Structure 1
Amino acid sequence: MKVTVLGCGSSVGTPAAGGYWGVCDPKNPKNHRSRASLLVSSATTDILIDATYDLRQQLNAIEQSKIDAVFLSHAHSDHICGIDDLRVISYHRGSPIPLYSNAATLEEFGGHFGYTFTGGYGGVYRPFLEKKTVAEDEKLTVGDIPLRLFPQDHGSCTSLGFRVNDFAYSVDVRDFSDAALETLYGIDTWIIDCAGWRREHSATHARLEQIEDWIEKLKPRITYLTVLTNFMDYDALCKELPDHIRPAYDGLVIEI
């Protein structure tokens, strides 16, 4: 089984619109970042986590034409606004793609993209997603991939985190409850949001100091930082961080 980091950027990507790179060196391909999303793949099953503005380019970059299920971490625009790119994949599949998330996320998503479940224009477009509501702490298996979900504090909403065997993915998180942290004990590899970086306070995203505290408790073998901003140059991060904490990059593949 493997995971592929389709994107590891912040909500604006790197470079941001207008060619804004911040401190990131444009000559380093690992500083070219699309919005944060992940593909979890086994021999038979491919699960997409989040559908970003950049989804079409992300899937085409790795020649990925099959998606068996989609999970949404939450309903902020940078995680859902590429959803229409799944229409063609659904049509080639011959049936709607199951879309999983908690009730609050699906309600907000449906307010913007309800036609994905019902079709539209008098039947011209058929439904290409099938709504699947899950609990925030649910355990389930999709195809042959076992998932354990856990709630995350994202400030303005609750996002979902995902554990697959000894791998975990925590995007758009500010803090964890004790119960959520319990879910993470025993992981080997962790990808976690670090858009808060070295701020004194962040209302929505984890800061490095917090992440280091969690790592001390959970003791994963390796942790990758995602949701990287334009103020986080790849090479500078590699020099600054200890060996067991690395920046992610678009296209990173991790065997799990």
Structure 2
Amino acid sequence: MKALIEFRNLYKLYTMGDTIVRAVDGISIKIYKGEFVAIVGQSGSGKSTCMNIIGCLDVPTSGQYLLGSKDVGKMNDDALAEIRNRMVGFIFQQYNLLPKLTAQENVEVPMMYAGVPKKIRHQRSKIVLERVGLLNKMKHLPNQLSGGQQQRVSIARALAGNPSVILADEPTGALDSKTGREVMQFLKDLHKDGNTVVLITHDNSIAAQADRIIRLEDGKIVYDGPSSGVKDSVETAEQEEVETA
């Protein structure tokens, strides 16, 4: 079975003065269509660099990144933008909604850049806003919506172009715990519907809700496997915290 996302001995190097920083240090990853994968690590682990490469916001220094059958590392900026708009749906921690546009207009922005005709944009935006329970808010501006509602608009925007992969960067980071749980449930539901979801997080308890975890430290993979063991350890730690409180 061919991987949807594949890193082949991938490196990303940065120069800081006289020092070369290996943000990603020779890693190989395969993520298949329909998986729900969390890439987890602390600051400096390389997870954000991986996110940028998966999302076609950056290219590797060496090695290969294949998205579907596309060798992303060999693309110029225009080609990167085209494949990014067509194949990746982004969900960000800070929502990144344009304040002067309505919820519906925000959802339509990526489709507009992708050249989708206006009539189809309108139809598709209504479908995805209904899917996240916000069809009745489609004419509201972001400042008229709660944080959770704004994140749901962000999710609708990510879904609008029928992307190959949904890339969620710390999607609950700006939310209270209750709303964060609701957003994670949306991601789980998207996965159940057959979507490929890649979650970027530093939070073990959030990562444990995915089916598979890829843990990074200092640009290297230190764990790649099912989240079941991680879930057990997180639940045990939470129970011990409750018992000692």
Alignment TM-score, normalising by the size of structure 1: 0.34
The structure with more radius of gyration = 2
The higher relative CO (CA closer than 8 Å, separation ≥ 6) is in 2
